């Protein structure tokens, strides 16, 4: 399986993606955990107006939660989890008839409301109303795996027209963080470096870019159980398309691909897996740039200072920074003495001013690039989840992983993956006269 993936990537992309120069020791391990995290995940509806390949949620009509249930879920966070921001997701949250009231509820609890949306229903009028209610940011999911009317068949670069439209709408309203995420498949992985380039060209209004590596919820080499009962996968909604190319891409390999466009691209922080501490489940890169040039990348010490400072003074870790702060990235140069990455960016910036004094009038921005590697199936059937996952939601007044919520909806508990018994034909004897031969299937070791 690994071999197939390597062949696929080398042949189609023309790059060896097995080299990277960072380890858990050289990066900052983000301090987020189950009880103290930067983000929490709220799903007031499971209904959606689009179909997205790779979605983990069943599209349920008439699934809008009443406001009292939404309030109860928020109180589960309040009683069990420190948080900075609440991602209001689904489903499509803008379908909820009381989305403005939900944003107000989150804001009243002194959290940053961030809406995770496909953007189809957003208008300038609704955006203004949501801002008045206290919305801090939007994360728009846009990729070629969606079934968007008028956009079918468009590749990721052609979809930049839609991304620009939504980013411009937020910029015109002002004061709202703008993020884009996309699911990475074999079909669109080649566009990732160009999308990061597009993000740099629009760094004045695009603050975060997120790339979510596709994972099949089920793998063909496993059987799935709840307790002692085998699960009929046809009765459970999840994307089931399983192939090595789709399900095995890792965060470091995507970094290597990005470096074909930006050779100095360097992550600074990560979250590890629950079963594999050396896996990069959330891999964060922060770059300092203007529309024309990337000056450099912040290092682990910078991120440690930011997260520690935020927690000391607000009792929560940082998720989404205000646009007014990240567009003043020249102030970050003051931290050059603790961070080699910022020192390098500072030198490159002043070198550009010497070469072209007009560059002084071009703002330097901070932009985050996140790579997310969802649940991995290990050979023994264990599932390598995100340790300290920000996308934790609630179920029966408990904190649970949002990406596996369908299992709880259906069975009330998590499923277990058990490797199937592999069988192969093996010759077990041959008589001395070479007359009689016999084979049978026996389990392989």
For residue 358, the 8-state DSSP code is G
Q: What is the CATH number of the domain that holds 321?
A: 3.20.20
Summarised one tens digit per residue, pLDDT across range 285-339 is: 999 999 999 999 999 999 999 999 999 999 999 999 989 889 888 888 888 888 8
> Is 443 a member of any domain?
no
> Is 435 a member of any domain?
no
Closest CA to 369 of 210, 168, 155, 171: 210
Residue 181 scores a pLDDT above 90 = yes
Q: Which stretches does DSSP call E strand in 235-356?
A: 269-271, 282-289, 294-297
pLDDT of residue 11: 36
Lowest-confidence segment of 24-33, 118-127, 422-431 by average pLDDT: 422-431
Q: Output the average pLDDT for the chain.
A: 88
pLDDT of residue 19: 58
pLDDT of residue 445: 35
> Is 433 a member of any domain?
no
Summarised one tens digit per residue, pLDDT across range 226-238 is: 999 998 877 776 6
pTM for the whole structure: 0.88
> Is 429 a member of any domain?
no
pLDDT of residue 186: 87
Tokens matching residue 444: 């392989």
> Is 444 a member of any domain?
no
Closest CA to 122 of 158, 166, 163: 166
> Is 439 a member of any domain?
no
> Is 166 a member of any domain?
yes
Summarised one tens digit per residue, pLDDT across range 378-396 is: 989 999 999 999 999 999 9
Closest CA to 203 of 365, 326, 93: 365
Instruction: Judge contact between 64 and 21, C-beta under 8 A.
Output: no
> Is 430 a member of any domain?
no
- Structurally, the chain folds into a number of domains equal to 1
Residue 354: which domain range? 2-424
Residue 9 scores a pLDDT above 80 = no
Distance (Å, whole) CA 77 – CA 64:
20
- Residue 47 banded pLDDT, cuts 50, 70, 90: very high
- Residue 355 banded pLDDT, cuts 50, 70, 90: confident
pLDDT of residue 58: 86
Find the mean pLDDT for residues 402-412. Answer: 91
């Amino acid at each position: 399986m690994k071999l197939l993936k390597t062949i696929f990537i080398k042949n189609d992309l023309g790059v060896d993606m097995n080299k990277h120069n960072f380890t858990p020791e050289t990066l900052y391990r983000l301090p987020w955990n189950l009880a103290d995290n930067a983000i929490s995940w709220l799903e007031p509806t499971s209904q959606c107006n689009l179909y997205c390949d790779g979605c983990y949620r069943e599209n349920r009509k008439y699934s809008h939660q009443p406001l009292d249930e939404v309030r109860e879920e928020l109180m589960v966070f309040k009683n069990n989890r420190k948080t900075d921001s609440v991602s209001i997701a689904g489903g499509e949250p803008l379908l909820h008839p009381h989305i403005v009231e939900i944003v107000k509820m989150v804001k009243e609890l002194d959290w940053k409301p961030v809406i995770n949306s496909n953007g189809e229903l957003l208008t300038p009028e609704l955006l203004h109303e949501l801002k008045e209610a206290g919305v801090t940011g939007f994360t728009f999911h846009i990729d070629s795996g969606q079934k968007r009317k008028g956009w079918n068949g468009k590749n990721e670069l052609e979809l930049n027209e839609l991304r620009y439209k939504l980013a411009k709408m937020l910029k015109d309203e002002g004061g709202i963080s703008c993020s884009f995420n996309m699911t990475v498949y074999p079909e669109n992985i080649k566009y990732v470096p160009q999308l990061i380039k597009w993000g740099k060209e629009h760094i004045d209004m695009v603050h975060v870019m997120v790339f979510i590596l596709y994972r099949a919820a089920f793998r063909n080499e496993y059987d799935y159980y709840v307790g002692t009962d085998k699960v009929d996968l046809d009765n459970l909604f999840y994307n089931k398309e399983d192939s090595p190319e789709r399900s095995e891409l890792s965060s470091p390999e995507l970094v290597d691909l990005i470096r074909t466009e930006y050779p100095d691209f360097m992550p600074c922080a990560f979250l590890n897996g629950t079963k594999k501490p050396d896996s990069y489940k959330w891999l964060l890169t922060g770059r300092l740039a203007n529309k024309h040039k990337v000056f450099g990348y912040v290092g682990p010490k910078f991120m440690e200072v930011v997260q520690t400072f935020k927690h000391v003074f607000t009792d929560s870790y940082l998720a989404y920074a205000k646009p007014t702060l990240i567009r003043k990235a020249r102030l970050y140069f003051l931290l050059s003495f603790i961070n080699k990455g910022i020192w390098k960016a500072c030198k490159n910036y002043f070198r550009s001013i010497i070469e072209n004094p007009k560059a002084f009038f071009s703002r330097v921005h901070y932009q985050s690039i996140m790579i997310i590697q969802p649940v991995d199936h290990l050979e023994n059937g264990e599932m390598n989840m995100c340790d300290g996952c920000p996308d934790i939601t609630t179920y029966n007044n408990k904190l649970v992983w949002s990406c596996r919520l369908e299992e709880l909806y259906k069975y009330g508990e998590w499923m277990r993956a058990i490797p199937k018994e592999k069988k192969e034909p093996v010759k077990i004897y041959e008589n001395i006269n070479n007359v009689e031969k016999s084979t049978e299937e026996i389990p392989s070791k």
